[in-house]
Amino acid sequence: MFPSLKKILRFLVLGLTLAGPGLFGGPAPFIGKAWAADPPFTVSGVHVEASGTSSSEAYNTALGEGRPKAWTTLFRRLTLQKDWARQPELDAAALVRISRGYTVANERRSTTRYVADVTYSFNPDAVARLLQGAGIAYSQGSARKIVIVPMSPNFALNAWAQALATESRTSVIPFSLAENADAATLKDVNFDSANFNDVAAAARRANAPEVALVQVVNAAGKLVVNVRRLGSGESAVKASADVPLVGGNPSATYPAAAAAAINTIEDMWKSRAAIDYRQRGLLTVNVQMRSLEQWGAIQTALGAVSNITNVTVNAMDIGYAQISIAYTGSSDQLREVLGGAGLQLAPVRGQSAWTLAMNGGPP
């Protein structure tokens, strides 16, 4: 039996009230507000030291010299490696304009010298405008967790695994390393033929949607690092890198090989997540929700996604809404970003339609 018109209208009015100003019923924001708290825009551990004719001069010089180092780290964190040579050159005043502030730790100073480790915070909106103006595609928001499965050549928790664990700690991606608890399901995994079902148990344990098989192979004068990224319902993506041996010693080369592996995985993620803001699209999406509260949560999550420029509610019923989403970038990138915001955007098989639900919501 269909619900009464009064119930539908009450649900619609309350739902739109929960949405508030912003994407739903108001002007589209230039950049999503959720970026204000995103870890990717904070660069920590920048070591600075400088001398001057006074303590304050040394202090200002050190902080000024650390800011371009932090900007380079941030730029490389957000952009594809092929675009690193296009990094905008910013003078001291321009760097201050895109900055939000800084904090210091391990501070040591004298009357003529200053030493510290500084954390620099950048303004997400200002950085976005700068990169969009330069026509540089960049990732936004936070990456979803990826489980690393160290292989040498098969699954093993050894010195190679330790090198990967150490290198992954400073990555923009929240990695999780496979553990002894995963050994039973991973010991027979074949790098070249594995699919997501073969590693799904390790992914579930870590509450991660993706797994990266990271294999190191000792070759003539080098280590070959192979990466195979597996996701549920997705085709495997593979990449490799060669790392010259350090002093002819594979173990001594593991840190450099691990850095190459993590950079490769990050570039795989950025290739999908880096938004080209010159590309635009529009999707009509059927939204499924269990309650009015969940509808409000979905709207809040949509409003926090920066490459969504506008959302229009076309129709609504109890447990269902149809919306139009205007966005920048590709539909695959939109799915990636929405996944990081806790939403599942999926095409309907055999139809030119899409569905949206909270993670763990109605299928």
pLDDT tens-digit series, residues 150-184: 999 999 999 999 999 999 887 878 899 999 999 99
pLDDT at 305: 81
Check pLDDT > 70 for residue 73.
Answer: yes
Q: Which of 362, 357, 363, 348 is nearest to 301 (CA)?
A: 357
CATH code, 282: 3.30.70
Q: Which of 329, 242, 248, 314 is nearest to 284 (CA)?
A: 314
Structure tokens that stand for 36 in this block: 């204000």
- Whether residue 280 is contained in a domain is answered as yes
Q: Do residues 206 and 318 both lie within one domain?
A: no
Check pLDDT > 50 for residue 40.
Answer: yes
pLDDT tens-digit series, residues 132-145: 889 888 876 566 78
- Whether residue 139 is contained in a domain is answered as no
In the listed set 133, 157, 175, which residue is the last one of a domain according to the structure? 133
Range of the domain at 230: 146-273
pLDDT at 3: 43
Any idea what the Cα angle at residue 223 is, between residues 220 and 227, rounded to 5°? 135
CB 88 within 8 A of CB 130: yes
In the listed set 273, 293, 312, which residue is the last one of a domain according to the structure? 273
Q: Which of 112, 216, 101 is nearest to 163 (CA)?
A: 216
**Looking at the 3D structure of the chain, how many domains does it have?**
3
Q: Which residues contact 310 (CB under 8 A, 6 or more apart)?
A: 23, 28, 325, 326
Q: Which of 31-40, 199-208, 230-239 has the lowest mean pLDDT?
A: 31-40
Q: Do residues 256 and 174 both lie within one domain?
A: yes
- In this structure, the number of other CB atoms found within 10 A of the CB of residue 352 comes to 7
Average pLDDT over residues 72-95: 92
pTM (2 decimals)? 0.58
Cα 92 to chain centroid distance, Å, stands at 28
In the listed set 133, 159, 178, which residue is the last one of a domain according to the structure? 133
pLDDT at 31: 27
CB 325 within 8 A of CB 258: no
Strand partners, 246: 249
Structure tokens that stand for 74 in this block: 């941030």
Q: Which residue has the tokens 């989403």?
A: 325
CATH code, 104: 3.10.28
Side chain identity at 110, as an amino acid letter?
S
Q: Do residues 173 and 246 both lie within one domain?
A: yes
Q: Do residues 233 and 167 both lie within one domain?
A: yes
DSSP assignment, residue 189? -
